[in-house]
Structure 1
């Protein structure tokens, strides 16, 4: 049987490196890999709380707060108190943050398209189906090392 653990590690490292290289070259901003993930989650969730994004990314709130401060300084996001609960900070993309987020997405889509160009249509569909299935199973299984 294949060493599935090794395959997952290789995939995560190669895809992670792809993201890391993207962030420094595609959008005209010095955006780290972690910061690109934060921008993505803010865009995906539409004005989420700081805690919900930190939880989604598995980043402790202290480290996350430093990343948020940096993104605010770069003019990519805004942090504001929630209208209903003043103890909660919500995050939103600025127009520059929207622009950078779009450029990051376009860069990644172009590269993924290149990766898929080496596959047949059936292989591409199989990979997409398998990724959906793996994501579903990971969600059902919960976080690592909680058994």
Structure 2
């Protein structure tokens, strides 16, 4: 019988739909998995501070700043100094960033629908409820792992 960890590892690897080979079919842009997560969180959080997004994604600020510079170069993100606190940089998507994220959304929705097509309505609902429960439990348990500047995953012990 497969262990829970094995199932999670396989799921993570198999579900890694947005990878280096999908860019042309997904959005026609060279957007990495990390960059797609950043775009998603900026939209979800509504013009957040850089540190908020970095914390949410578990990426150290140096690595995150480098990713933001790349996204700014691609004209997908704008960084602005907060009018309330000049030490804080706020992020927002450009119109092009919104367009790319919309294309990624459509691509992912299609892939998810394709996966769910192999399930009954009851199985789909069970998976959706189970994922919600798993996400809540993970959030409550917390995590101390971050992605460092040298792309290593650093976890507290």
Structure 2 length-normalised TM: 0.88
Residue of structure 2 in register with 1:45 after alignment: 45
Residue of structure 1 in register with 2:139 after alignment: 139
Residue of structure 2 in register with 1:125 after alignment: 125
Q: What RMSD, in angstroms, separates the aligned Cα atoms of the two structures?
A: 1.5
Q: Tell me the CA shift for residue 71 of structure 1.
A: 0.3
SS in 2 for 1:92: strand
Q: CA–CA distance in 2 between the matches of 1:22 and 1:126?
A: 28
Deviations 1:67-114 (A, max 9, x none): 000000000000000110110000000000000010000100011001
Q: Tell me the CA shift for residue 28 of structure 1.
A: 1.7
Judge conservation of contact 1:22–1:108 (CA < 8 Å) in 2. no
Q: Tell me the CA shift for residue 146 of structure 1.
A: 5.6
Judge conservation of contact 1:24–1:31 (CA < 8 Å) in 2. no
Structure 1 length-normalised TM: 0.94
Structure 2 segments unaligned to the other structure (5+ residues): 145-154
Q: Tell me the CA shift for residue 24 of structure 1.
A: 4.4
Q: Tell me the CA shift for residue 33 of structure 1.
A: 0.8
Q: Tell me the CA shift for residue 19 of structure 1.
A: 1.5
SS in 1 for 2:92: strand
Deviations 1:6-33 (A, max 9, x none): 11111111112x1214334321211111
Q: CA–CA distance in 2 between the matches of 1:68 and 1:91?
A: 9
Judge conservation of contact 1:48–1:91 (CA < 8 Å) in 2. yes
Residue of structure 2 in register with 1:101 after alignment: 101
Q: Tell me the CA shift for residue 61 of structure 1.
A: 0.5
SS in 2 for 1:37: helix
The structure with the greater share of residues assigned to helix is 1
Q: CA–CA distance in 2 between the matches of 1:2 and 1:13?
A: 16
After TM superposition, which residue ranges in structure 1, 4 or more long, deviate above 2 angstroms? 21-25, 144-147
Residue of structure 1 in register with 2:3 after alignment: 3
SS in 1 for 2:22: helix
Q: Describe the shift of the 1:146–1:62 C-alpha distance in structure 2 as closer, same or farther (beyond 3 A).
A: closer
- The reply to whether residue 80 of structure 1 matches residue 69 of structure 2 is no
Q: Tell me the CA shift for residue 46 of structure 1.
A: 0.7
> How many aligned residue pairs are there?
146
